[in-house]
Structure 1
Amino acid sequence: MTEQLTAVVTGNAATVLDACCERGRGDATAVECGDRTVSFRRLLDQTCAAARGLTGLGLVPGDRVLLALDDGPEFLAAFLGALRAGLIPVAANPGAPVDDHRYLLADSGAAAVVADPGPAAALVGSGVPVVAVGVAEGALRYDDLVSDPAFLAPADVDPDDPGFVLYSSGSTGRPKGVVHRHRDLSVTAATFGARVLEVTGEDRLFCTSKMFHAYGLCNNLIFPLWFGATAVILPGRRDLPRILDAVEAYRPTLVASVPSVYRALLAVPGARERDLSSVRRATSAGEALPAAVFAEWRAAHGWELLDGIGSTELLATFCSNLPGRTRAGTSGVPVPGFRLRLLAEDGTEIDGAGRGALQVSGGTAFSHYWNDPERTRRTVDGPWVSTGDLYSRDEDGFYTFQGRTDDVFKVHGLWVSPVEIEDVLTAHEGVREAAVVGVPDGSGLTRITAYVVPSGDPDGLVAALRAWLPSRLRRHQFPRSIEVVPDLPHTVTGKVQRFRLRERS
């Protein structure tokens, strides 16, 4: 699986840049970020400078460094610099509320912070050094931190040593620190990057998710660096017209996004007339891609969206539709290098077609949850990781998302999958987005509540849906209540936060 990789890394993951330079990619463009371009050799210099600067703050191998940075060369240099120094970068959303940053700082026990001006200013006085990329009163200057780009040998680490921490997206509550090893980066590249995307040094990768999230880290850092390709990074807020403008202007060959963004992009005026012909492969993850969205993109631009599933715990996409082997509405088949199994309610493994709780085994699996051994014990079963997802598998081995295991519920003694109802709701022309939850009524029985975001005029939508749904749903799936709302609560990665809807019901 490594024959396609420009960089084969067996120890400290940050040496990926050394390998790229040694294999003749030093002067090639590693990053395009707005009007800035950075070569692999220049990024190696910046990484060495960041590593030296962080150790100059008194940090020692094993210390955590909180990174609350927007995507850009600074994030790459700080992340890889921390790895190079044997430190453990902890990626955080720079746009999150101040309380979230304080929580992550306390939970991770980070010994230093490198952040954009907003979070940097908020964390000054927290008892650890704070470095600002930009100006923040009381913070150290990033430019001073990285003032010495002389080569710095990487710290000697074992591939199985803790490498970095990502916090889960919080679709089910408080984010959890997920600890990954150095080797997980290389295995991610050698599996999904090599076997599904088939990345080469000629590719240009663009992802709408930020690098503090696993999906963004894979597509904006891991795949470009491990294959000597170019990361096309759009800093700042990625609103829909800017995304379309970026694809037209920067001509990426590989695009990664999430279903909610793919759906919304086609609603932008003129989106179907845009020149997006540079893209040879596009992937979707984060939540199930509706079959209707798959069909619309194929009709509009000829894109065969490769829908799949990954997780913070697995880092990589471990199940995906494959080029030339897609089935709309499914998450595809296991990516080479991963094993999947379904467990029945009694914990026994399901053979052949069936529906059950999904577990995954593969070389990218996390080592543990930070400061949460009990959750680790509940999630890790030997080589298997419980995803918390309920999936069905058909006779051809394709997997279809049925909801989170804690989202499904029983009505009249029959199991209800919110996703099945949501797919029917979003097939109606008047519905742009939908979410379904089960809530107890006054008698303690579970009733179904559907929240719908209208695609146009909401007048009469509820009545239209009540007339339209009975022929498309089983009786026990029919929503007792349908509420029209202007939007749904999402995580920063686009997943619907059903627990917030349950709180509202």
Structure 2
Amino acid sequence: MNAQDLAQSVGFDLPDSYNASRLLWDNNPARMAIFHDDGNWTYGDVQAEAARIGNALLAAGCTAGDRVLLYLDDHPVYPAAIMGAMRAGLVPMLINTLSTQELVDFYLADSGATAVLHSASYGELFASAKVKVLNAADRPWQDQPATLAEHPAARTDMAFWMYSSGSTGKPKGVVHRHEDAAYIAHTYARTVLKISRDDICFSIPKIFFAYGFGNSVTFPFAVGAASVLLSERPTPVRCFDQINTHRPTILFGLPTLYTALANDAAIESVDMASVRLCVSAAEVLSPELAREWQERFALPIVEGLGSTEMLHIYLSNTEAMQKPGAAGRVVDGYRIRLLTPEGREAEDDEEGVMQVMGLSGAEQYWNRPEKTAETMVDGWIDTGDRFTRDADGYYFFKGRADDLVKVSGQWVYPLEIEWALNDHPQVREACVLAMPLDDGRVTIKAWVAPLTKGNDALRADLVRHAKAALLPHKYPREIVFLDALPKTGTDKIDRQALKRMETVR
């Protein structure tokens, strides 16, 4: 069964001629689309702004197929820019707004973008760009027509890009088609979220993140629901304020975000009565955190797993069926296989490297043929993640395929030590990595953000805890206490930043 067969098996059907901007334009203009602190927008408001932006990009000289770099805060202009660019036949690129100047220059050069649209605070990054630059604060499109004819596109044409996180080497441009967004709405959003036009989605992860794009734009737009957009950094206090003010029904987060919310004193002020569903993805959710959240709010956190290459979640628990520590079961419309080192499919409870197939999967990395050939083969995407599957079809993450290290002559997965530390009652969050020593050996190092002050007594207790939870040789040889662990733009723990901190000490 290939990706097309999978799509047919779940009743997914699009005309051959399809432009993904229909996700916006197929909605009733009078319905509410976006709640934001600067003001609320109806679908008609977003459609008009999207048309103006698309017209402005065409007037600036962009032609069909040109890439447009979007460097925007989560504001109603962002989904308008995405949809307006696609409707004009252009290809929007959703870029992490915590990118450095070096990365921004790389994105412009790698993509050959012909235009940039940025929020006001990011203008300096594009001061020397040799392309058309539009500052969203100036609304240079305000005098453009508020209607825009749909550029004819095939459902399999290139529609939009995101860049991978680039944890090893330069980030990779992940190319998605016009049919991909509609597919994740038809599969995950319909069967797991059970989203309807009455829902209000609040995604703390940002739109530039594939997870956030689905949560804030694709899913609500696909059914005529609404979304809450929060510009700038999502501190716990600001998130609680959005929940109290805009009354979302679906809350999307990451384990690190739920941890930050649960440990903030302001949580006593939040009214979660409107929320019917909490979703987590991108990292492993601690069973302890899930239990605490359930006890506090009588709401389960439904955990899933997705990727930029697949655009959204393809493994998920559900409200009705969950297993602690599991990424979930296969979402309808996708296939999963676990391959052993011998190249055969793993049996139940046997480890294998996960490969995933589904119509939303990207078919190429831009300008990276070798990496494309390595990762995307015969419709399968190799995730590089090790999993086991139990007899009930639930998948359990075991780490990266390449993170097994030998310490003191014995094999260790740093991630299992990290999980053990996170279960300690005095730990807010922890990160564990294998670090090279000057003599060529490898040691296991932990960075821990404790709930109280870190000291030698806590350090010794954490070592005892890890040894007791795992095996005597599986413990961090060095523990560094930090007030908070560094985060990426998608609020995952920034493991590369921790490594860089060690190189400058």
Show the counterpart of 2:23.
16
- Tell me what 2:479 maps to: 482
Over residues 101-148 of structure 1, what are the superposed CA-to-partner deviations in whole Å (9 max), with x where a residue is unaligned? 2221122110011111233343133211111012xxxxxx4x232422
Give me the whole-angstrom Cα distance separating, in 1, the residues matched to 2:244 and 2:44: 28
Q: What's the CA shift for 1:286?
A: 1.4
Whole-Å Cα distance in 2 between the matches of residues 82 and 465 of structure 1? 52
Q: 1:273 deviation in Å?
A: 5.5
* Matching residue of 1:138: none
Q: Over the residues paired in the alignment, what is the CA RMSD in angstroms?
A: 2.3
Deviation at 1:412, TM superposition (A): 5.6
**Aligned pair 1:97/2:100, yes or no?**
yes
Unaligned runs of 5+ in 2: 1-6
What is the aligned partner in structure 2 of residue 463 from structure 1? 460
- Structure 1 counterpart of 2:133, one-letter code: V
- Residue 439 in structure 1 maps to residue 435 in structure 2: yes
Correspondence for 1:367 among 363, 369, 372: 363
Contact 1:67–1:114 (Cα < 8 Å) also in 2: yes
Mapped to 1, the partners of 2:362 and 2:498 lie a distance apart of: 30
* Correspondence list, 1:43-54, <5 A: 43-54=46-57
Mapped partners of 1:451, 1:314: distance in 2: 31
* Structure 1 residue aligned with 2:210: 214
Contact 2:18 2:155 in 1 (8 A): yes
Counterpart of 1:17 in structure 2: which amino acid? L
When residues 163 and 437 of structure 1 are mapped into structure 2, their CA distance, relative to the original with a 3 A threshold, is same
Q: Secondary structure at 1:469's aligned position in 2?
A: helix
2:219 is matched with 223
- The answer to whether structure 1 residue 472 and structure 2 residue 477 are counterparts is no
Change (3 A) 1:488 1:407: farther
Change in Cα spacing, 1:297 to 1:171, as seen in structure 2 (3 Å) is farther
Question: Post-superposition shift, 1:306?
Answer: 0.7
- TM-score with structure 2 length normalisation? 0.93
**Residues 172, 499 of structure 1: 8 Å contact kept:** no
Contact 2:68 2:116 in 1 (8 A): yes
**Residue 263 of structure 1 pairs with residue 259 of structure 2:** yes
Supply the distance in 1 between the matched residues of 2:230 and 2:438 (Cα, whole angstroms): 49
Decide whether aligned partners of structure 1 residues 221 and 180 sit closer, same or farther in structure 2, where only a CA change above 3 A counts: same
Deviation at 1:415, TM superposition (A): 4.1
Q: Is the 8 A contact 1:169 1:492 kept in 2?
A: no
Classify the secondary structure of the residue corresponding to 1:261. helix
CA distance in 1, matches of 2:175, 2:47: 24
Match in the other structure for 2:424: 428
Which of 294, 306, 311 is 1:310 aligned to?
A: 306
Question: How has the CA–CA distance of structure 1 residues 412 and 394 changed in structure 2, closer, same or farther, with 3 Å as cutoff?
Answer: farther
Shift of 1:43: 1.5
Matched, 1:33 2:36: yes
Look up the SS of the partner of 2:21 in the other structure: helix
Q: CA separation of 1:172/1:491 partners in 2, compared to 1, >3 Å: closer, same or farther?
A: farther
1:350–1:356 Cα contact (<8 Å) kept: yes
Does residue 153 of structure 1 match 2:149?
Answer: yes
Q: 1:278-307: CA deviations, max 9, x gaps?
A: 111110011111111100100010111011
How far residue 92 of structure 1 moved from its aligned partner, in angstroms, is 1.4
Q: Is 1:75 aligned to 2:78, yes or no?
A: yes
Distance change (3 Å), C-alpha of 1:150 and 1:273: closer
Q: Deviations over 1:379-429 (max 9, x none)?
A: 111111011212222222111112222333234665422222112111112
Structure 2 residue matching 1:324: 3-state secondary structure: coil
- What secondary structure does 1:241 align onto? helix
Report 1:406-417 matches (<5 A): 406-411=402-407, 415-417=411-413
Contact 2:24 2:221 in 1 (8 A): yes
Compute the displacement of 1:464 (Å).
Answer: 1.7
Structure 2 residue identity aligned to 1:434: A
Q: Note the alpha carbon deviations across 1:130-172, whole angstroms, 9 max, x for none.
A: 11012xxxxxx4x232422342211111111111110123344
Deviation at 1:236, TM superposition (A): 2.3
CA contact (8 A) 1:341 1:360 kept: yes
Q: Distance in 1 between matches of 2:14 and 2:245?
A: 32
Counterpart amino acid of residue 479 in structure 2: I
Whether the 8 Å CA contact 2:467–2:473 is kept in 1: the answer is no
The letter of the residue matching 2:130 is: G
Paired residue secondary structure (1:475): coil
Distance in 2 (alpha carbons) for counterparts of 1:35 and 1:487 = 30
Q: Structure 1, unaligned stretches of length 5 or more?
A: 135-140
Aligned to 1:399: 395
| Counterpart contact for 2:117–2:136, Cα < 8 Å | yes
Does the 8 Å contact 1:114/1:120 carry over to 2? Answer: no
SS in 1 for 2:428: strand
Which residue of 1 is the match for residue 321 of structure 2?
A: 325
Compute the displacement of 1:272 (Å).
4.5
Residue by residue over 1:462-489, the C-alpha shift from the partner in whole angstroms, topping out at 9 and shown as x without a partner, is: 1222333322111332222222233333
Distance across 2 between alignment mates of 1:495 and 1:216: 13
How many residue pairs are counted as aligned between the two chains? 494
User: 152-161 vs 400-409, which deviates more?
Assistant: 400-409
Aligned to 1:86: 89
Query: Counterpart of 1:137?
Result: none
Correspondence 1:202 to 2:198: yes
Deviation at 1:203, TM superposition (A): 0.3
Seen in structure 2, the aligned counterparts of structure 1 residues 339 and 352 have a Cα distance that, compared at 3 Å, is: same
Which of 158, 164, 176 is equivalent to 1:162? 158
TM-score (ref. length: structure 1): 0.93
